[in-house]
Amino acid sequence: MPPFPTIPLLHAAYAAGLDPRDVVAEAYRRLAAVDDPGIFLALVPQDAAQRAAAALPPFDPASHPLWGVPFAVKDNIDVAGLPTTAACPDFAYVPTETAPAVARLLAAGAILIGKTNLDQFATGLVGLRTPYPAPRNAIDPAYVPGGSSSGSAVAVAHGIVAFALGTDTAGSGRVPAALNNVVGLKPSLGAISSRGMLPACRTLDTLSVFAGTVADADAAFRVMVSPDSADPFSRALPVGAVPAGLPPGLRLGLPDAASLRFGGDDLSRTAFGATVADLEALAGAAAPIDFTPMFAVAALLYDGPWVAERYAAISAVMKSRPGILHPTTRAVIGAAERHTAADAFAGLYRLAELRRVAEAVWDRVDVLVVPTYPRPQTCAAVAADPIGPNSELGTYTNFVNLLDWCALAVPGRARADGFPAGITLLAPRGSDGLLAALGARLHAASATRIGAGTMPVPAAEPGPARAQPGEIELAVVGAHLSGLPLNRELVERGARYLRTVPTVPDYRLYALAGGPPQRPGLLRVATGGASIETEVWALAPAAFGDFVSGIPAPLGIGTLRLADGSTPKGFLVEAAGLEGSADITRHGGWRAYIARSAAA
């Protein structure tokens, strides 16, 4: 087993003859060596895990992309035959059915090691609200491991498993990742079935993934993505395959000076600034953004319908057996009893108002970057105050699911004392692929090692620059270019950026007259043409059809000839539609034209 079991390293070793039973044995050996009884609440017996490894079909990572990969599952997610406790032993039951998302991982060849500890009923961000021994932070046990998915993050950080499932309602899939120096993927809500997961807030919950690398987290995520007709919160949501590279013109935003909160911790502030510098070197300068509306959304989470939703999830326990709960869990969820139905609707109305304001940020930027947490919290601080430090850890996570955004937490530059200081990328729902491309590059640029080990972060591998089977290539030349106003129409349909390449010199570009303003037209000509900048994106056929159905005259879709020899579909204009237009061919592309116009 490699020093850290990334999927590519495991598969290379398997191709060279490694027996997956040896990998299973090494996972249990590492667990014993770590000697932390708080990580797992239930283990698959080692001989059973080795039988599962022996029963795998012949090695074929194309048909079984997680072949022989050890993983763990947070103990509020059902696995048939293993108890589900939600860190409440008097609540425990043994399910007869495995959660569909876990079943998909097993079908892809992954090998389950066990079920991990958590803040009871997934209520908390510290990882200490459990009646069992709390997992120790993998980097420094003086600090909290983070919650609620504490055991999953710690198991990955120690290299016991390649990836682990968590859940995320208010940051539970991101905060533990940052505190243990691993990746935490919080997908677009509804992309993964939540059936078989004990709810915290059903309208906000999602399964999440912890892994040593962005690529591994994304690989597990892709296996689980599937609509589930039996899950009323599942959505057939395009999440965008990982693009070949970073789209040019990517617009970044970060909290402005008044919105940056580090609790007076200069070490965390400095580390965040260093990671932002890495990010800006990759993708350009980030614009300052006022996070006042996001913080207002976050304030709703534990004051209104969503704490009542937590109460609803375990109402039978709260009404008849409250004494079985951890005292802090009972106090947090019990606060719902002071709210009325009118309060719940008031909260929903307020969220609708704030969401409208917050969503306007995507007119200015494509990706937001925030600290995953303001500063790390010590176990001693939480023992002295169980609520305050927990709340602070959620500063930049609590609003995300309420706003229906996706998120990716990646380790960044460490603090000067060596403790990790994570950074989180945020984007509109369906932008999961874009975040993976950016996050992988940032992780490789900023972090020096994976988890608590010494293995360096691998370089980010570029994705395929051509459409995959089942995709259609579309070349865009105008406002659908990355960083321009209509690019969201592609991203929201799950489009994947492939490459930037000019046309052959057979085209002329025009700024068309009439509305909407600033509309380009590309015309193929027999003589006097030039090369025009394009971006090529890949879409699924259904998304392509939905996109082109809204194209207004005199524009249409034809076949373009590009300088790399490819012939994607693309925007063309009818010759009759050029009346009153301006020939802007000399600029070489729409982006250069609008930049020149703005400068003038």
pLDDT in tens, 172-214: 999 999 999 999 999 999 999 999 999 999 999 999 999 999 9
C-alpha 159, offset from chain centre: 21
Nearest to 164 by CA among 177, 178, 175, 179: 177
User: Which pLDDT belongs to residue 553?
Assistant: 85
Eight-class DSSP state of 135: P
Check residues 463 and 171 and name the one with the higher pLDDT: 171
- Using a 10 angstrom Cβ sphere, with 0-12 exposed, 13-18 middle and 19 or more buried, the burial of residue 127 is buried
Check residues 552 and 597 and name the one with the higher pLDDT: 552
pLDDT at 453 over 80: yes
Active site residue 188: no
Given 150, 152, 172, 193, which residue is catalytic?
172
Q: Which helix (H) or strand (E) holds 318?
A: helix 315-320
In order, the DSSP letters of 40-106 are EEEE--HHHHHHHHHTSPSP-TTT-TTTT-EEEEETTB-BTTB-B-TT-GGG-B--SS--HHHHHHH
Average pLDDT, the chain: 95
Strand partners, 583: 510
pLDDT at 537 over 70: yes
Cis peptide before 420 (omega within 30 of 0): no
Sorted by sequence, the CB contacts under 8 Å of residue 152 that are 6+ apart come out as 72, 73, 74, 116, 118, 164, 165, 166, 176, 210
- Antiparallel, parallel or unpaired: β 286-289 and 252-255: parallel
pLDDT category of residue 22 using cuts at 50, 70 and 90: very high
Other CB atoms closer than 10 Å to residue 514's CB: what's the count? 12
Which residue in the block uniquely carries the two structure tokens 């309060």? 343
Given 115, 148, 150, 581, which residue is catalytic?
148
User: Which pLDDT belongs to residue 287?
Assistant: 97
Active site residue 186: no
C-alpha 139, offset from chain centre: 23
Q: Give the residue-averaged pLDDT of 351-371.
A: 96
0.85 surpassed by pTM: yes
CA distances from 197 to 77, 363, 365, 373, 412 (A): 4, 35, 34, 26, 30
Given 74, 194, 234, 431, which residue is catalytic?
74
Largest CA distance in the chain: 83
User: Which pLDDT belongs to residue 460?
Assistant: 87
User: Which pLDDT belongs to residue 600?
Assistant: 62
User: Which pLDDT belongs to residue 242?
Assistant: 86
Supply 116's token pair: 């991990």
User: Which pLDDT belongs to residue 267?
Assistant: 98
pLDDT category of residue 1 using cuts at 50, 70 and 90: confident
pLDDT at 303 over 90: no
Domains of the chain from N-terminus onward: 7-247+370-446 (3.90.1300.10), 472-599 (3.10.490.10)
User: Which pLDDT belongs to residue 243?
Assistant: 86
C-alpha 1, offset from chain centre: 27
Active site residue 172: yes
Half-sphere CA count of 486, side-chain side, radius 13 A: 15
User: Which pLDDT belongs to residue 209?
Assistant: 98
Separation of alpha carbons 98 and 464, rounded Å: 34
Sorted by sequence, the CB contacts under 8 Å of residue 351 that are 6+ apart come out as 297, 300, 402
pLDDT at 590 over 70: yes
CA distances from 455 to 20, 102, 438, 452 (A): 21, 28, 21, 9
Which residue in the block uniquely carries the two structure tokens 């090998």? 111
User: Which pLDDT belongs to residue 346?
Assistant: 92
Query: Taken in order 307, 310, 315, 316, is the CA torsion positive or negative?
Result: negative
Helix (H, G, I), strand (E, B) or coil at 559: strand
Q: What percent of the chain has pLDDT over 90?
A: 85
Q: Give the residue-averaged pLDDT of 383-397.
A: 97
pLDDT at 531 over 90: yes
Extended beta strands in 397-478, E state: 405-410, 423-428, 472-476
Q: Give the residue-averaged pLDDT of 436-442.
A: 96
- Using a 10 angstrom Cβ sphere, with 0-12 exposed, 13-18 middle and 19 or more buried, the burial of residue 17 is exposed
User: Which pLDDT belongs to residue 305?
Assistant: 82
Burial 287-324 (b: 16+ CB within 10 A, else e): eebebebbbbbbebbbebbbbbbbbebbeebbeeeeee
Which residue in the block uniquely carries the two structure tokens 């326990």? 317
Supply 580's token pair: 């009153």
CB 451 within 8 A of CB 157: yes
- Which range in 103-112, 239-248, 331-340, 496-505 is most confidently predicted, on average pLDDT? 103-112
User: pLDDT tens across 513-526, in order?
Assistant: 876 666 899 999 99
